[in-house]
Structure 1
Amino acid sequence: MAAEYAPEVVAGLQAMVRARLSLWDLPPGTEVTLLNLSENATFGLKSPCGTRDLVLRVHRVGYSSPEEIRSELAWIDALRLDGIIQTAPPVTGANGELVQLLHSDCGGASRFAVAFQRVGGKEPDQGDNLMQWFDALGALTARMHLHSRAWQRPEGFCRKLWDYDAMVGPDCYWGPWRSGIGLDAGGIAVLERALAVVKEKLDAYGMGPDRFGLVHADLRLANLLVEGDTLRVIDFDDCGLSWFIYDFAAAISFIEHEPFIPDLLRAWVAGYRKAAPLSSEDVAMLPVFVILRRILLTAWLASHAEIPFARQIGSAYTAGTVRLAQAFLDGEFLTIPKAA
């Protein structure tokens, strides 16, 4: 059986999209371009005359149910309509549905798909003023959390629960962290000790409604678009119920080891406090969530090893996770002044 995104599978997905363009009132000559492979496969759809420019997310098999996807889109619409964020609006198909089911003509698995309007902006990079953008991201995240607490979820709303067990427990969503690419017995022992501390601190912190609710859960740089002074958020595919401040840990995904992360943390906290309260106890927990997220991503890379990005950084990222976990155990990781 071919891997989820083996080259022949990706070619089949592109053919599947080309054969179903009419679902979004697009003509046969529409340009179909692979934009990204990650949890899902993302394609750009541009009509020949340039009148329609969409981004199509074709879902990984078995990851999200149609009810989960519709729930995600409901929160996106609520955030947009309430003026909380700028994000890509989902596009209704010719049949009146937001979530489409694409069938393969080559014997491949059927896939759910959602189209979005393409919005302007580019992913911020380390050459940009990331402190400025993390200040803005902190405020934006706080507004999303305030909205999350107040929003009346529609009947049938369902999204994944991102608690400790769902991330790193025996039946976690993204596979066992012990399968991390290049992870050896010594590294496993370090991560086991780190996770024991993480679990203890999470249990003490709790999951009360002031700390745990509906969050984006993947506000990493790849899911941010900057244009002028505007910061946009995209890709709510992992949104679900988790700790609110987990959103910071997700925001520094894959760059947790960089020396400028403490500066980004301070900028994010300052921005957050412009829009909503954030206690010193909340701030003290941020390194805990960063380590948890880092170990989770180590598992994700292993379970998505066919993706070029995973192959590119896999073993080096795993080794870095072990180093950060040891620093966390030694009290030397992302130390925060008590006054923060």
Structure 2
Amino acid sequence: MSATSAEGLLGLDVTVDEVLGAYDLGPAPKATLLHVSENVTYQVDDPAGGRRWALRLHRPGYHSLAEIHGELAWVAALRADGVVRTPPVVPTRSGALVATATGRHAVLFEWVDGRSPEALEPAALRGTFGQLGDVTARLHRHARSWARPPSFARFAWTWESTLGPAARWGSWISGLRTALAEAVVVGADAAAGVDDPGSRVVHAPGSPVAAGRGSRGGAAGEAVELLGRAVAVAQERLAAFGRGPQRFGLIHADMRMANLLVPDDALVIGTGGASAAQAAQAAQAAQAAKSVKADEVCVIDFDDCGFGWYLWDLAASLSFIEHLDSAGDLVAAWLAAYQRRLPLTAADVAMIPTFVLLRRLLLVAWLGTHPHSDAVPSIPAYARDSCELAEAYLAGRLLAG
């Protein structure tokens, strides 16, 4: 999830130079900004030696030093145990895995060439979600059996830390009100004859925004009431579901297509509208030709990893596309691959819409605190679609189509 914030970058040049000085990166390493989110990520090049790395500069206060070491310990174990490919961590000259400068922690990773399957055409997404399901199952199996170091520390993705008073990414209510207030202003301007095609939002008939057009408080209030009812139902279901060891443990927590890298010359299978038999034949042919190998997929960005419900990783895979008509098919592809390694109970599967709604509202909160994010084309439209998802959830129709 990238967001642009000039204020957040002020003064970082000195910090980056100081961090790079802790590593052996050649005589004149060059850092180029890649993206800004919770952390700031740079591409670092050694022009003289032809080497390249990725530098992650942590946001102050988001993770403790112990939590960063916990993340790196799991990443190292996944590599050592041959579970998935992850970028190796580059130690400083003194052998430390984390460098610290001007109050910021930093981690340097080996560069991994490849591309994200995020930009695939919709017809190819089903095959990608099969890969996601398989990779996630391998991570979860490892997490259940891995003997964590005594000093291991990571936070937890619980009700309280997602949608509760201590939500890590802010209040979903504030995020929703901010987005819908913007949408109502646009609608009111259009009704008054203000022509701004670049920002106009088209509201679905009967939606909370459409019903409250011209009244910021009315639109946002109805939306909060609708989503509040869905949130109350989700909270009850989560409490009943519980946190048993087969349901709750160490997860990636941001297992999106954007956090997978496949080699540039690898073929990503898209089953599209093919039958199950055709899809299986295509997969077998690709494996035989060594075009696709599970171990070629590289999983990146474990920055949000922590303790949570295992099926949260499925919900995270749908981030920003939960409203697509194909979402149900994508979930089916993920589940088919996942359950070849880790079977799920009927009660587990029944909880998937709850986790999808929970993740969706967490993203509404995140967008509310990252107003310049380019993660979605329109934040107001994303909020409006969230209301429609909540209606479907309350009616038992979410992911049913």
Give TM-score scaled by structure 2 length.
0.78
Residue of 329, 342, 357 corresponding to 1:291: 357
Q: Please point out which of 104, 111, 115 is paired with 2:108.
A: 115
1:248 aligns to 2:284 (yes or no):
no
Counterpart among 324, 331, 349 of residue 258 in structure 1: 324
Q: Secondary structure at the match of 1:214?
A: strand
2:283 is matched with which residue? Answer: none
- Equivalent residue for 2:231? 195
| Contact 1:14–1:32 under 8 Å retained in 2 | no
1:141-290 equivalence runs, <5 A: 141-180=136-175, 181-183=178-180, 184-227=220-263, 228=266, 229=292, 230-290=296-356
* Percent of pairs with identical residues: 45
Residues 220, 310 of structure 1: alpha-carbon distance in 2 compared, 3 angstrom cutoff? closer
Do the aligned partners of 1:88 and 1:116 also contact (CA within 8 Å) in 2? Answer: yes
Tell me which structure has the larger Cα radius of gyration.
2
* Secondary structure class of the residue paired with 1:156: coil
Task: Give 2:209's aligned residue.
Answer: none
Give yes or no for the alignment of 1:332 onto 2:383. no
Distance 1:208 1:123 in 2: 33
2:179 and 2:368 in contact (8 A); partners too: no
Instruction: Name the stretch that deviates more: 113-122 or 315-324.
Output: 315-324
Q: Report Cα offsets for 1:253-287 as digits up to 9, x if no partner.
A: 11111122111101100000111112222112111
Q: Match for 2:69: what amino acid?
A: R
* Distance (whole Å) between structure 1 residues aligned to residue 338 and residue 135 of structure 2: 7
Greater mean deviation of Cα atoms: 67-76 or 176-185:
176-185
> Which is further off, 5-14 or 287-296?
5-14
SS in 2 for 1:274: coil
Residue 14 of structure 1, CA deviation? 3.4
Taking only aligned residues, the RMSD between alpha carbons, in angstroms, comes to 1.8
AA aligned to 1:33 is: T
User: How many residues align structurally?
Assistant: 326
Alignment correspondent of 2:55? 56
Give the secondary-structure state (helix, strand or coil) at the position aligned to 2:22: helix
Q: Which runs of 5+ in 2 are unaligned?
A: 181-219, 267-291
TM-score, L = length of structure 1: 0.91
Q: Post-superposition shift, 1:9?
A: 3.5
Structure 1 consecutive aligned stretches of length 4 or more whose deviation exceeds 6 Å: none
* 1:50-129 matched pairs, under 5 angstroms: 50-103=49-102, 110-124=103-117, 125-127=119-121, 129=124
Gapped regions of structure 1 (runs ≥ 5) = 104-109
Give the 3-state SS of the residue equivalent to 2:93 in structure 1.
coil
Q: Which amino acid aligns with 1:133?
A: T
1:205-241 Cα shifts (integer Å, max 9, x gaps): 1110010000000001211112212322100000000
Residues 302, 310 of structure 1: 8 Å contact kept:
no
Q: Which structure has more RCO (C-alpha within 8 Å, separation ≥ 6)? A: 2
CA contact (8 A) 2:320 2:376 kept: no
